[in-house]
């Protein structure tokens, strides 16, 4: 299957069953007027009693400056992160390894041409949302962490690994929502500076993502 990203006009079930959430996808990134600027291949699948979400995105904007980023996120059965690794290749190659334990993210950052840098970030819960730059499949994981039995506004701590940035987001069910003549279940993600609308199918799989302020859409085909 494929997802298309356009710019201008993207509980892991609590005590998840192994068949609950499995996905192997490709998504293609576009800019204004649907110019292709890259693609992302990703897979979310059971692994060792928990889950592994991994993806590789290649970005080639029309004005140059191509880059490639990969991420591999290991999760507990309830969606809490165990470890995360990312690597970004542009003019230089950078990356990091992150271990999560008891609400603490232990980060080892490796920058080309520099010594490894270590930093710890502390959160008030082990259930942390990992949402990295240009790896949109991680929003599919967020849609599974959300407690659909309770609905309403739910707050999660979040980390953006490539920026070493902690913060928080709110996630709220918006009920029925439509786009391009299709009806979805809407889930609104609100950050400190953006609102991101996740459009899900009846099984809460991410089918489309909209960032109105940035004029970005991600569509599964």
> How far from 174 is each of 44, 94, 153, 189, CA to CA, in Å?
25, 38, 10, 10
Q: Where are the alpha helices (DSSP H) in the chain?
A: 138-145
**By CB neighbour count within 10 A (0-12 exposed, 13-18 middle, 19+ buried), where does 33 fall?**
exposed
3-state class of 214 per DSSP? Answer: helix
pLDDT at residue 27 in the model: 56
Contacts of residue 63, Cβ cutoff 8 Å, sequence gap at least 6? none
For residue range 35-77, list pLDDT tens digits in order. 666 778 888 888 888 999 999 988 877 777 788 999 999 999 9
Is the pLDDT at 4 greater than 90? The verdict is no
- Phi/psi at 53 (5° precision): -115, 115
pLDDT, averaged across the chain: 82
- Specify the pairing of strand 216-220 against strand 206-211: antiparallel
Question: Higher-confidence residue: 180 or 152?
Answer: 152
**By CB neighbour count within 10 A (0-12 exposed, 13-18 middle, 19+ buried), where does 171 fall?**
buried
pLDDT at residue 58 in the model: 85
Is the pLDDT at 13 greater than 50? The verdict is no
203: left (phi over 0), alpha (psi -120 to 50) or beta: alpha
> How far from 137 is each of 34, 181, 198, CA to CA, in Å?
20, 23, 11
Other beta carbons within 10 Å of 65: 10
- Phi/psi at 17 (5° precision): -80, 150
Other beta carbons within 10 Å of 202: 8
Is the pLDDT at 3 greater than 60? The verdict is no
């Amino acid at each position: 299957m494929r997802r298309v990203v356009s710019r201008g006009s993207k509980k892991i079930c609590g005590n998840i069953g192994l068949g609950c959430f499995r996905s192997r996808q490709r998504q293609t990134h576009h800019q204004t007027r649907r110019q292709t600027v890259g693609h992302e291949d990703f897979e979310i699948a059971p692994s060792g009693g928990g889950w592994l979400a991994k993806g590789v995105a290649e970005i080639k904007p029309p004005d140059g400056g191509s880059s490639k980023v990969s991420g591999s996120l290991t999760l507990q059965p309830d969606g809490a992160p165990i470890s995360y690794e990312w690597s970004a290749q542009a003019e230089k190659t950078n990356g990091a390894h992150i271990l999560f334990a008891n609400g603490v993210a232990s980060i080892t950052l490796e920058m080309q041409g520099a010594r490894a840098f270590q930093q710890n970030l502390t959160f008030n819960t082990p259930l942390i949302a990992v949402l990295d730059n240009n790896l949109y499949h991680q929003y599919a994981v967020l849609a599974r962490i959300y407690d659909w039995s309770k609905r309403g506004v739910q707050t999660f701590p979040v980390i953006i690994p490539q920026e070493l940035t902690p913060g928080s987001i709110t996630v709220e069910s918006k009920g029925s929502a439509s786009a391009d003549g299709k009806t979805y279940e809407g889930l609104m993600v609100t950050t400190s500076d953006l609102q991101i609308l996740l459009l899900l199918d009846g099984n809460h799989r991410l089918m489309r993502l909209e960032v109105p302020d940035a004029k970005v859409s991600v569509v599964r085909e």
